[in-house]
Chains A and B, each alone.
Chain A
């Protein structure tokens, strides 16, 4: 494993061009970590949804990409979306399918949760929002991929 794969990267989320860069970087890192095509697509799609939330609801912020491993040979990629926006008053409501405050389809947050293995939201009114997701690669048979 090269040091490149272990490097944490932080990207700005200030406009829709940044969203494209986020998608490209997430795809590239997921490929380097050996994720399959369906997993790459799920993670990139979740990243696109959550980065757009950071932009539209949080007024912009950043996303960090952190390769991780669980000691059992599983490689993972954690993405952390951080904004200093108004926060989410009712997370349970925001996670309901079809609930939208921005005129969208209301599937971004709830749908992203289904696309990844780990999902957590840290938010409070006036305190900004941090959404963290992790997708783990399947256990490699015989210790190799």
Chain B
């Protein structure tokens, strides 16, 4: 899973089906990248996920907690509406996780401007996003 350095903030786009061990690797990779780059923020884009279960929710919450201990803030972006409905019913509202609507909006929290191409708005997390 690639972790992109956008100059002071990191961008992680989770794509498609994620095996449990891949999720754990992701947590390690992101936390290590926060430490080595000294990033202030970590944007986690989950618009590519059609399902988040309690295992993955816990991994995401742990990434955010580890990032916070390293003085970086994690922001979750692009959750699909069907995933949000399911997570709430499951009882997992992820109170420790900050959310933003788009990657650009999340980046602007950290003073990084990303110009969004109006023709192809990425990472809005619709249920029509292809997997």
Let me know if A114 and B82 touch, CB within 8 A.
no
In chain A, positions 96-113 with a C-beta closer than 8 Å to chain B are 97, 104-105, 107-108, 110-112
- On chain A, the number of residues with a Cβ less than 8 Å from chain B's Cβ atoms is 27
Spell out B's residues near A (CB within 8 Å). Answer: 17, 19-21, 50-55, 57-58, 80-83, 85-86, 89-92, 127
Asked if residues B19 and A19 are in contact (CB atoms below 8 Å), the reply is: yes
Interface contacts (Cβ under 8 Å), in number, total 72
Query: Can you pick out 13 interface pairs between chain A and chain B where the beta carbons lie within 8 Å of each other?
Result: A17-B19, A20-B17, A23-B17, A38-B85, A42-B86, A44-B50, A45-B53, A45-B90, A48-B53, A49-B53, A104-B54, A105-B54, A114-B91
Whether B86 pairs with A45 at a CB distance below 8 angstroms is: yes
Chain B at the A interface: SS class: helix
Give the 7 A-B residue pairs with the shortest CB-CB distance, closest first: A111-B90, A16-B20, A41-B82, A48-B53, A38-B82, A107-B91, A107-B54
Q: Is A91 in contact with chain B by the CB < 8 A criterion?
A: no
Residues of A within 8 A of B83 (CB): 41
Q: How far is the CA of A41 from the CA of B83 in the complex (A)?
A: 7
Question: Which of A27, A37, A110 has a CB less than 8 Å from the CB of B127?
Answer: A37
Which residues of chain A have a CB within 8 Å of any CB of chain B? 16-17, 19-20, 23-24, 27, 37-38, 40-42, 44-45, 48-49, 52, 97, 104-105, 107-108, 110-112, 114-115
A20 touches B51 (CB 8 A): no
The docked-state distance in angstroms from the alpha carbon of A48 to that of B17 is 12
- Cα A115 to Cα B81 in complex, Å, equals 15
Given A19-B20, A41-B50, A115-B90, 6 more pairs with CB closer than 8 A:
A16-B21, A23-B51, A38-B85, A38-B86, A41-B51, A49-B90
